[in-house]
Chains A and B, each alone.
Chain A
């Protein structure tokens, strides 16, 4: 895609990665992604972030289309992860900017990552203001949203904020603005991105939103580094969404995530699903053989209850469930009810192990159900009743 002038003198450059499916090695990007970066043409030509290294050609081409022979004076690095800093070293080498601005932790990361000795780096702690001509850039550190070096760059004259990974979505599109695409799809992909990338740092999101309010920043354009940009009323909409995501208020919804050997655990879990559904709880029934952990996480993040299921395998649990639980724990979901289910042949450690994971995630645990050999109607009744009991616990929580 060619550069798009999003405001007079401010350009979206970026690269649309239509074929990307594996995002950062751990998450699915079913609709591809974009690496957005921006160029402000003012007295000082300022580049905000770069793109993944493989799009160096695209970046040079985009820069040439906007700049001709003009040079880049300043570079702002809001975050040093390689999808945003992948071309930073090449930009420094080719365009030799006068200054590179980054957060205090960004400078630390830049030194460690690029091992530079002579880059003109200048640190911009929160409150730093930089005049680039007609416009000012002010910086707000957002440590751990979602890396220690993350920061936002705000331009008061344009009421525009460059948010790096915050408000991003993995969606390769020919459109650039949120108001040009299907809203439901946008919302789904924004939530998926949040659940898999931003979730553990929800307290920082709440703090940042409060700071933006306290500082009275007027925001009419939000420019994240992945996916669509927001303008007008969509800015308030995006911030309301983030406020709600970060609060992690549970919905009337349960996720049953399991793996199974001979379908006994699966059938028990299904009986629980019936109990939940009959009480009016919306259920997602997800076998790890058919679902990627990041898709499960997108459902877990706004659910009130998570039921995990695995048979006992070699005195442990099945490997796909171990993968799921490791991933889930790292994302630190809050305000959940948890329960376990599993069948076993000779030793039956599964439910104990699964329950320990739930406790480690501070979930409100409802005692699990295990069964030896093939479950019969009595066991299914017990599981069904368990589903109803979890539904009651969900209702009490909402």
Chain B
């Protein structure tokens, strides 16, 4: 199951700092991230649009 989750392009990720949920279906329009962008494919310098934390602060949402 774990492997399936990691490869699921629609897997949502949640910011452990502030609780913001990155939803690939929506992308992050404010940072010019188009809908359909997998979390893994976000640029390394992408940060949480709410609290500014980096990608390392995100974990897959259950």
Top 4 closest pairs, chain A to chain B, by CB: A144-B18, A143-B18, A144-B51, A148-B17
Closest beta carbon of chain A to B1's beta carbon, Å? 27
Contact with B along A136-162 (1 / 0, CB 8 A): 000000011000100000000000000
Given contacts A144-B50, A203-B50, 8 further A-B contacts (CB under 8 A): A143-B18, A143-B19, A148-B17, A148-B18, A148-B51, A200-B52, A201-B50, A204-B50
Which residues of chain B have C-beta atoms less than 8 A from A208's C-beta? Answer: none
Interface residue? A362 (CB, 8 A): yes
Q: How far is the CB of A299 from chain B (nearest CB, A)?
A: 23
B11 CB to nearest A CB, Å = 22
Residues of A within 8 A of B (CB): 143-144, 148, 200-201, 203-204, 362
How far, in whole Å, are A88 and B50 apart by their CA atoms in the complex?
A: 28
A-B contact list, 11 entries, CB within 8 Å:
A143-B19, A144-B18, A144-B50, A144-B51, A148-B17, A148-B18, A148-B51, A201-B50, A203-B50, A204-B50, A362-B30
Interface size class of B (residues with CB under 8 A): under 10
Shortest distance in angstroms between B27's beta carbon and chain A's nearest beta carbon? 15
Total contacts A to B, CB within 8 angstroms?
13
CB distance from B48 to the nearest CB of A (A): 9
Residues of A close to B51: CB separation below 8 A? 144, 148
Complex: how many Å from CA A200 to CA B17? 15
**List of B residues within 8 angstroms of A144 by Cβ:** 18, 50-51
CB of B20 to closest CB in A, whole Å: 8
**A166 CA to B15 CA in the complex, in Å?**
23
Q: Give CA–CA (A204, B15) in the complex, Å.
A: 15
Separation of A148 and B50 alpha carbons in the complex (Å) = 10
Q: Which residue of B lies closest to A200 (CB)?
A: B52
Binary contact readout B22-62 vs A (1 if CB under 8 angstroms, 0 otherwise): 00000000100000000000000000001110000000000
Give chain B residues whose Cβ lies under 8 Å from the Cβ of A203.
Answer: 50
Residue in A closest to B19 when the chains form the complex, CB atoms:
A143
**Residue in A closest to B50 when the chains form the complex, CB atoms:** A144
Annotate B1-25 by CB proximity to A: 1 below 8 A, 0 otherwise.
0000000000000000111000000
Query: How distant is A97 from chain B, measured CB to nearest CB, in Å?
Result: 28
Which residues of chain A are near B50, meaning CB under 8 Å? 144, 201, 203-204
Q: How far is the CB of A166 from chain B (nearest CB, A)?
A: 16
Give the complex CA separation of A148 and B18 in angstroms: 5
For the complex, give the distance between the alpha carbons of A200 and B52 in Å.
10
Shortest beta-carbon distance from A200 to chain B in Å: 8
